[in-house]
A and B are shown apart, each in its own frame.
Chain A
Amino acid sequence: MSQQVVAQENILELRDVTVSFGMNRGVSKVLDDVSIDIHRGEILGVVGESGSGKSMLASALLDAVVDPGTVDGEVSYRTDSGETVDILDLEDEELRQLRWEEIAMVFQGAMSFFNPTMKIRGHFLETLKAHDQDVDEGMEHARELLTDLHLEPDRVFDTFPHELSGGMKQRALIALSLILEPNVLVMDEPTAALDLLMQRSILTLLDDLQEKYDLTIVFITHDLPLVKDLCDRIAVMYAFDVMEVFPAGDLSNSTHPYTRSLLNAVPNLTTSLDELRSIEGSAPDPVDIPSGCSYHPRCPLSTPECEQEDPPLEEIAPDQEVACWHHEKVDEELPLALETSDGGSAEVYEGNQSDEPVVVMDDIEVHFETDDGGLLSLFDDPEIVRAVDGVDLEIYENDVVAIVGESGCGKTTFGKTAVGLQEPTGGSVRYRGQDIWETKRGEGTGDRSYDEIRRALQIIHQDPGSSLNPNRKVSSILQVPMKSWQSDLDVEDRKARLLAMLEAAGMSPPEDYADRYPHQLSGGEKQRVALIRALLMNPDLILADEAVSALDVSMRVDMMDLMLTLQDLFDTSYLFISHNLTNARYLAGRAGGRIAVMYLGEIIEIGPAEEIVQNPQHPYTQALHWSTTDLDSNSEGEADESPIRAIDVPDPIDPPSGCRFHPRCPEAREVCATEKPSLDSGTDHCTACFREYSEDHPYWDSEPLGEETIGAHVGGESS
């Protein structure tokens, strides 16, 4: 093989890299002739939907494709001394040294990357020893890295992986990947499992690290808006190949129809809600990639030329390449929705809520006891986690209330309490005026039975895969609710009804879908079945717990549209739980509903969806808003400053005094540490913050909190 010399400005060059797996159905090409250059010192974003081959690209860079996959082509690496190495040709020992010392990798699930039976310190030590590094010096470097990532080295070293929160674990993993001072860091969906706010905080830190340690970063993600500000260039992958590469600063630089459609399908905070369109069709099977341009079956611009010949990646501007025959026409035919929309003046829909509340929650408290501590705490009182601490909420008919907050803020517990699945330790939950838990205990005065109430309050779980019985067909899964609640229907009626529902949910031909098992459905389809199953109970309120979070970006809008359509048909209300302000905005905004922001067991701001999104009052809501990247901003390659002062959520066992947000709040003053603001009521838009109080409130005369006061309060999660 003729060894090419890697150009000066590049650190990695890929030429015709193909990864294939032999399968029963034929050879499956999960990476198809990819050629791309990675510049020294840049952050390259690789964006694609699930199953587009982007993770394979990451593995190929380290020649770490799992068996029985095979990699062909050339992956050339230019060392510091200017030599060129073909990574795919290296001997085992050379490869072992190259990995981590030159190119390191951060995997998707930090949760499972650490050995569960070894402390974090051990992971650092063994890596240093395996590469014959000076251990003391290396550990000093590790401390510095952890400190850079806002972790306390001594505390983190002495913990087992499961004792760290997801965000902390991910940051510890980034530190571990940089311990040998590599030149290139490959990150495969490093933040996908985390909250948006944590994702953005980590991205901000990455930006600093990249500068400090002079790194080249390949950042692989499905979330284009997320990395837009971080990256220098973005490569878009579709059907196992790179479709285009463009400078990240301005998304209107993108010239491939797929990128445009993808961007128009992503919910965000500025695009008018009507402009969002999902992409028709689905991504191709790796065994059977369409001839010509692999995107042509779904492309609105496709012509016969596209079906016959695969367009090569051609350079159309500096740093910009695209593989499309029609890229000149893209601006005309597929304009970016966010450019055409008139900014923030999105239309507010009139909700058709009644005045009669379906579920009323009054001063709800849910406290859990935990047992934590060693033998010495023999006679200590058990610790109390205040998952929900004094929350009021009324949900009306045909209402949509979206609860937004970071993980661990108590939003799921609160949701379960609302639908009567979790008994509150204080306060009351009433369904149409009747206390649910009193009814269950037989003490109630109302005339509804507990079973009736139970039927009226349904739930859709986060993970569609595990909420459907894998051993039953869709038709029998969906018949269960009808059998128990509409026993007058005979088999034929039930059948006809469920087919009609499947059809209405866009799963056609319905006969085909009814006959499938859950594993034969895609994630989106499973979630639809779960939604139909809940709706067949004819409920008044459905708790949708992160119901779209597990779906691909382009599927989310579809799913939420379906939820809204069916809401009209079935007269139901949704309590929608999400960590993502954009999803909340989409669902609640379209139905004229409300968004409630939760922090450490309390609602700190609630109001009409658009109002919360466009005009957030509480500093925490503002931080959540910051975490949702503004597609429209054209800031150049720099992730802007984080608006929160501490990255990790405090321990809910011992929440901060006064306003619970004060240790992280950029606006906190001394009074915030001692007094607690209440959620003002009366208006539509309520905020629990002293800044909303009148000007004679002591807040305005109080001293701003200094840095040293903050450190003392921030404990971080311990479990």
Chain B
Amino acid sequence: MNGRWLLKRIGMSLLVVWSTITLTFALIRLMPGSPISRMRAELYQQYGATMTQAEIDRQVRLYLNVQPDEPLWQQYITYLLDTFQGDLGHSYVQGIEVTVILADVLPWTVLLLSIAIMFQYTIGILLGASMAYAEGSRFDFLSTSVSTFLVSVPFYVFAFLLIFFFVFQWDLFPQGGKYSTGLEAGSLAFYRSVLYHATLPIVSLVITGFGGIALSMRANSIQTLGSDYIRGAQLRGLSNFRISYRYVARNAILPLYTGLLIQIGFLFGGAVILEQIFSYRGIGYVLLDATLYRDYPLMMGTFMVITIAVVVGVFVADLTYGKLDPRIQTGDSQ
């Protein structure tokens, strides 16, 4: 990794974020039945007699970060500056700042997704490695079939099944929500309740997600097992345990890392459906709500936060890839 590359990489991330901001700005301005005219109409309808044109514009600006009577480029710059300062406008359904709403829901989504990814990869890697060791056995055949089946089931189908059995049939888990009401935040009971409520969504992601990881881990491990350095390690008399974790697993995991990046983006997108099914008020839930109620500031703010989350995730993964695989010189000209 080197400085020039790092600067270039940061520049690229900023470019993505900037394009997102620009796109959202364009959306506000150009969409037929734009949020601006809609909001004006609403305000006019409500306070038509009591509110001057200037006051309506001020309200619009407060909520949408847009000053309707300014020239387009000026509006754009104001919007850009506001956004970069962290001011995403006000939700006009809830009437509070978008940033406050997002700060409230984002941690919940991150909680769900990070636990799910952790389990997906742990189970996938362990299972995949064992399948590679037992290549050709009954265990390998069965696990391969099961993994292939599970990876082809969409998580929301599985989520419905979980709800049907675990909630409605057996009443083992709550149907929705993030925690039981009436518990003191920070107490042990509160955290237990949080995990209890998060169980089903996480399970639906993990069960339908680990199969793909296991299958690629299996393929990578089999390839690694055939390489010369494994043979060399065996001849040098290293223990099987050391060979399996320091030689096989260490090298077979490398290609999975790229998959992790794609997974982050994919799961954020999936959160919209997942949180809806489990009535879990995370960022995906808020996004869908905002879309349904045409709460444009909130919708666009959510959209942007998801983009930034993916950009940051990919960026961090890129930076750390070189640590994982010393052969990858991040930013090598080739």
- Chain A interface (Cβ within 8 Å of chain B)? 62, 64, 66, 96-97, 99-101, 105, 107, 109, 112-118, 126-127, 130-131, 160, 162-163, 176, 368-380, 382
Contact = CB atoms under 8 A, between A and B. Distances in A.
B331 A371 contact: yes
Contacts of B138: none
B253 to A, nearest CB: 9
B237 A371 contact: no
A115 B251 contact: yes
Interface in B228-245: 228-229, 231-239, 242
Given A109-B228, A115-B247, A116-B251, A162 B326 contact: yes
A127 B229 contact: no
A114 B237 contact: no
B85 interface: no
A113 B228 contact: yes
B229 A116 contact: yes
Interface in B250-270: 250-251, 254
B332 A375 contact: no
A117 B251 contact: yes
Given A371-B2, A375-B1, A375-B6, A116 B235 contact: no
A130 B239 CA distance: 7
B2 A131 contact: no
27 contacts: A66-B231, A96-B237, A99-B235, A99-B236, A100-B235, A105-B235, A107-B228, A112-B227, A113-B229, A114-B232, A115-B246, A115-B247, A117-B250, A117-B251, A118-B246, A118-B250, A162-B327, A369-B333, A371-B2, A371-B332, A375-B3, A375-B6, A376-B3, A377-B2, A378-B2, A378-B3, A378-B4
Interface residues of B, number: 33
A130 B3 contact: no
B5 interface: yes
Contacts of B228: 107, 109, 112-113
Given A107-B231, A160-B327, A369-B333, 6 more contacts: A99-B236, A112-B227, A112-B229, A115-B247, A116-B327, A377-B2
Nearest to B247: A115
B238 A130 contact: yes
A395 B316 CA distance: 52
A377 B4 CA distance: 9
Contacts of B233: 115
B329 interface: yes
Contacts of B331: 371
Contact of A372 (B231, B254, B324, B329): B329
B144 to A, nearest CB: 22
B178 to A, nearest CB: 40
A382 B236 contact: no
B229 A374 contact: no
B2 A374 contact: yes
Does more than half of chain B's interface fall in helix, strand or loop, or is it mixed? helix
Nearest to A116: B327
Contacts of B333: 368-371
A528 B233 CA distance: 39
A127 B5 contact: no
A369 B331 CA distance: 12
Nearest to A163: B326
A637 B326 CA distance: 42
Interface of B: 1-7, 227-229, 231-239, 242, 246-247, 250-251, 254, 324-327, 329, 331-333
B245 to A, nearest CB: 12
A160 B4 contact: no
Nearest to B248: A115
B2 A372 contact: yes
A373 B326 contact: no
B325 A127 contact: no
Contacts of A118: 246, 250
B3 A377 contact: yes
Contacts of B325: 116-117
B237 A100 contact: yes
A382 B4 contact: yes
Nearest to A111: B228
Nearest to B235: A99
Contacts of A114: 229, 232
B326 A116 contact: yes
A382 B3 CA distance: 10
A371 B246 contact: no
B257 to A, nearest CB: 12
Interface centre among B238, B251, B325 (most CB of A within 10 A): B238
A371 B7 CA distance: 13
Contacts of B235: 62, 64, 99-100, 105
Contacts of A96: 237
A96 B246 CA distance: 19
Nearest to A114: B229
Contacts of A113: 228-229, 232
A436 B247 CA distance: 49
A377 B329 CA distance: 14
A130 B227 contact: no
Contacts of A64: 231, 234-235
Given A100-B237, A107-B232, A116-B229, A380 B326 contact: no
Contacts of B329: 371-372
B238 A126 contact: yes
Contacts of A105: 235
A370 B246 CA distance: 31
A64 B234 CA distance: 9
Contact of B242 (A101, A130, A373, A374): A130
A372 to B, nearest CB: 7
A62 B4 CA distance: 50
Given A115-B247, A116-B326, A377-B3, A130 B231 contact: no
A101 B254 CA distance: 33
B5 to A, nearest CB: 6
A99 B228 CA distance: 16
A115 B229 contact: yes
Contacts of A371: 2, 4-5, 329, 331-333
A66 B5 CA distance: 44
The 8 closest A-B pairs by CB, nearest first: A378-B3, A112-B228, A160-B326, A96-B237, A113-B232, A371-B2, A130-B238, A162-B327
A130 B327 contact: no
A109 B41 CA distance: 76
